[in-house]
Amino acid sequence: MNAGGLQLLLAAVLIGLLAMRVSPTSAAEYVLSPDGDDAAAGDAHQPWRTLQKANTTLESGDTAVFLPGEYVGSIAPERSGTADAPITYRSSEPRGARLIADGAQDVIRLSNREHITVEGFHVDGGMQARWIQADSCHHITVRGCAMRNTPRPVSITNSTQLRLLDNLFSQDRSGPTDMMWIEECSEVLVEGNSFTRAGHSPFTLNYVNNVVIRANVFHGEWGRDYITYSLGRCLWEGNIITRARDSGGSAEAKAHSFWDHGIFRHNLVFDNLGTPLNIGSYIWQGVSHTGRFRAPFNTRDSRFYHNTFTDNLGPAWYLGGIDVSANVFQNNIFHRNDWAGGHEQITRTADISRDNRFVANLFRGDEPGQAVLHWGDEYWTAEEANKRTPTTGGFWSQAHLNIDADPSFVDAQNRDYRLQADSGAIDAGDFLARAVGSGTGTALPVNDGVPFYDGFGIEGEEGDIIAIGTGDNLAQVLKVELRYNRPAILHLDREVTWTDAMPVSLPWAGAAPDIGAYEHGVTDPTRFVALARPSLIEPGQSVSFSLDALGKELASVTWDFGDGSVSDEPAPTHTFTQAGHYGVTVRAKFTNGRRRAEALFVKVEQPVDPSAPLLQGDFETATMDTHWGYQFKFYRGHQTGAANVERRDGEGLCMHLFYDPKKANQTAAQVAPGAWDIDQYPLVRFEYRIPTGVPVAVQLSPFDVPGRPSGLILAGTANQESRFGELEGYTLVDDGGWHEITMDVRRLRTAYPGLKYLRQFMFSTPWRTPPPPARWTRFPALQARCTSHPDGPEDTGRLDSLDTLLLRAREPGAWVQMPFSLRAETSGEVLVDLVNHTDRGAIRILLDGKVAVERYEHYSAETTRQSVSLGTMTLAAGEHTLRIEVFEDKVGFVGLGGLSIRPEGAPTTPALTPEQFEFWFDNFAILPE
């Protein structure tokens, strides 16, 4: 054989060996044990010991099996797998192998890797490390892991074909921290996971396209449930969204939901401790053309249908802001939301586009006929919404076909939101789309293609099964072709015949689709219903699980109970031994070949001790994450500065609240424990130390009810102020010493007859501008119920940074009026506090209907504060009115700060400047009597 022939032979042999090595049949399985040896063979009898050994050894098709125990270090493979031969790291028992962070080094580190699977581990960040850091990766799967204790968010960027399946993510850290960021990614499947106990957001997506979020349990507990920025083509399906709160680490309970061409369907949203969902479009302060945020956050051309929203402590959705348009809310149940307040089911502000539509939804508060839609500045019933938003062309309207009816759930107490046979929601829905024209074929033209799902290019995903013409004439969507203003095309798996305006929807039974997450009486080829009874138990009690296959035959099933236990029984009974809130996932396969995952939520709670506090905070480090850190809000921009410091008297730690020039200094220590029953927990107790002259007040707020003040002062120092009304209550002593106060919040019933629940406690700290000098009385305009002409929402505005109410007067005859009340006859100089500016004109000032200043030139070349004297006078106890009118010859805006009264002999300057404002408080509790 010549040299050339030998080279060809060697090359062929080498290629053959390489082919053998990467083929699935040559895959190796290695075993690791905490007691192993990296110099051993790496099999079950002679296991390896370290992650590093696995990282350097594994090649395409290899699997590393980890026996129970702890492994310190990182999963960081040196090689990628292939489509037919992925690299797998797997715990031999579910969550039996524990991956422990090595200091601050990320536990799972992947960069430019493909086809990697991590399965079944308990991952502990040790409050130092991230669980996952992945960049520029493809075909990555993380399955069946429990991830806990991390101070830093998961970071997954610039990746495709990502799968997060059946994991528990629990950050276990209070404060304004996020748990997970997925950014600049596409083809993402997030299914069967539980997200909980993160301060700011447990799950955050930014610039992610073609993403499916299915059968997850979002139970924030310590904050909101998620944040999504700038998603393109997303599907939210079959999720449970619950237990969000306005917490110490999140600005509010609301989950930000910003996406284009999104689908939100078959989700259950219940038992949240505030408004759970938010489309409040805004511009982030750090937006730039090329930065992390490159445009306003918006929600456009998305479809929200067949969901159930019930029993939340606020409206189910808030919609408002600069860019919310062309969205459709259809066939949803909104039931008994805002039950402790005004029974508001949605809030739709006046500033969003009028092309957002509400079609065939059920709106019901506690009883029929309630005005449950907050529409701009008005409150409407479902019928009023239908009538007041005129229908065009026989079908198009902002509100159309909505009803007020009893949904008649099968078992709401156990979160079984299927419909009973007498439900008003049955056959009350509308079809998602209509066929356009007539024809036969596999390309079906429809008037709206956005509601339908085609798999989004995610490997292993299949498109919707839809019904055409009748509820049982089924076909599968292979591809959705939107085509923008032309009819969309649904490419189907079989030939169908259609006529013009023929209904196209998900499978339905009866004359039309039902309203809500579940269709009554349908035989569904893909969906099933998972059930748990009871869904609220005590530790040591059992739950019976079952499923309704909706007419299909079950082939196999796997239940993951969220506590590390699993079952393959069709109807298992499981005992939960530890208190906690558990996301339960069930995966079912049917004899028709379809597979599906569904989610449940089980609460395991100790019996309520009637003598225990509703809430308490000793502000010690040891109890921060378990008791008070997630409850008390200190970090927001409208608050004061705050620090956890040693008490000077040696009695442990306390909270120090102080003036921060970078913040608004309006409030401090906000806490919203949920539905605070003041008959069960009527007392508030805390210790405090307030230096002389520092204004501090205790402000309590009920849940919002139209026409009712949103808060009252129950206690305060002598010179305190509040933007809400005052009540004869308690005095806070400002002598620089420590004091304890116990207040009975039932005193609020003198102002709120019949009050049952409170929403929030906070300190009111009017520190943004210098306080009035001693003995002065001040009435800020932003704290009064001012009226104006014109009175549209765009005619007045709040300049919070200037403590100013702005009247945007654009024509003669405009005025603004501020009421104020005196408890006793008061004498002194009356002054009107104004903010002059370049856009101001000439004004007339009236007090109690009489002209006090005939003409005042409100214009200034710079922004300046000015107190205009109305003279010295005596005002009677009772109600008074300040009115400012715009002159016809010089129309301009009005900047009203308020009104002050200086008694004779009172100082003209305050004793303290804002920089000197501070106080301390400790040992807070909301208590039973």
Question: Which CATH class, in words, describes the domain spanning 529-604?
Answer: mainly beta
Query: What pLDDT band is residue 727 in, cutting at 50, 70 and 90?
Result: low
Residues 795-817: b if buried by 16+ CB within 10 A, e if exposed: bbeebeebbbbbbbbeeeebbbb
Q: Give Cβ neighbours of residue 81 (< 8 Å, ≥ 6 apart).
A: 60, 61, 87, 88, 114, 115, 116, 117, 139
Give the chain's end-to-end CA distance (angstroms, integer): 101
pLDDT of residue 18 exceeding 60: no
Domain ranges of the chain: 71-365, 433-505, 529-604, 615-771+917-927, 777-902
Distance CA 123, CA 167 (A): 11
CATH of domain 777-902: 2.60.120.260
pLDDT of residue 10 exceeding 70: no
Query: What pLDDT band is residue 176 in, cutting at 50, 70 and 90?
Result: confident
- Mean pLDDT across the stretch 361-374? 98
| pLDDT of res. 891 | 85
Distance CA 885, CA 887 (A): 7
Higher pLDDT, 877 or 812: 877
Q: Which of 23-27, 767-771, 804-808 has the lowest mean pLDDT?
A: 23-27
Query: What pLDDT band is residue 13 in, cutting at 50, 70 and 90?
Result: very low
Give Dmax (Cα) for the chain: 122
Query: What pLDDT band is residue 6 in, cutting at 50, 70 and 90?
Result: very low
- CA–CA distance from 471 to each of 371, 450, 522 (Å)? 34, 20, 9
pLDDT of residue 207 exceeding 70: yes
| pLDDT of res. 711 | 86
CATH of 71-365, one of 3.40.50.620, 1.10.10.10, 2.160.20.10, 3.90.245.10: 2.160.20.10
Q: Which of 197-211, 518-532, 674-688, 800-814 has the lowest mean pLDDT?
A: 800-814
- CA–CA distance from 565 to each of 61, 371, 557, 562 (Å)? 29, 46, 14, 7
pLDDT over 90 percentage in the chain: 83
| pLDDT of res. 770 | 65
| pLDDT of res. 324 | 95
Counts of helices then strands in the chain (DSSP H, E): 3, 77
Q: Give Cβ neighbours of residue 446 (< 8 Å, ≥ 6 apart).
A: 433, 434, 435, 436, 487, 488, 489, 490, 504
pLDDT of residue 448 exceeding 70: yes
pLDDT over 70 percentage in the chain: 96
Give the best-scoring range by mean pLDDT among 267-281, 793-807, 856-870.
Answer: 267-281
Question: Which CATH class, in words, describes the domain spanning 615-771+917-927?
Answer: mainly beta
pLDDT of residue 20 exceeding 60: no
Higher pLDDT, 173 or 106: 106
- What beta strand segments (E) does 74-159 contain? 87-91, 97-100, 108-111, 114-119, 122-124, 132-135, 138-143, 146-148, 154-157
Segment 887-903, tens digit of pLDDT: 878 889 999 999 999 99
Q: Give Cβ neighbours of residue 137 (< 8 Å, ≥ 6 apart).
A: 110, 111, 112, 113, 114, 116, 156, 159, 162
Burial of 473 (0-12, 13-18, 19+ CB in 10 A): middle
Q: Which sign, positive or negative, has the C-alpha torsion 779, 783, 787, 788?
A: positive
Query: What pLDDT band is residue 282 in, cutting at 50, 70 and 90?
Result: confident
Judge whether 852 and 846 are in contact, CB under 8 Å: yes
Judge whether 563 and 580 are in contact, CB under 8 Å: yes
Of 236, 400, 427, the closest CA to residue 328 belongs to: 400
Cβ count near 4 (within 10 Å):
8
pTM above 0.85, yes or no: yes
Segment 547-577, tens digit of pLDDT: 999 999 999 999 999 999 999 999 999 999 9
Average pLDDT, the chain: 93
| pLDDT of res. 707 | 82
Distance CA 717, CA 694 (A): 8
| pLDDT of res. 726 | 61
Cβ count near 134 (within 10 Å):
25
Judge whether 550 and 528 are in contact, CB under 8 Å: yes
pLDDT of residue 640 exceeding 50: yes
pLDDT of residue 1 exceeding 80: no
- Mean pLDDT across the stretch 446-474? 98
Distance CA 666, CA 769 (A): 10
Higher pLDDT, 706 or 429: 429
- Mean pLDDT across the stretch 92-119? 98
Do the domains 615-771+917-927 and 777-902 sit in the same CATH topology, yes or no?
Answer: yes
Segment 691-725, tens digit of pLDDT: 998 999 999 999 999 988 888 899 999 877 554 55
Give the best-scoring range by mean pLDDT among 184-193, 628-637, 806-815.
Answer: 184-193
Distance CA 921, CA 916 (A): 17
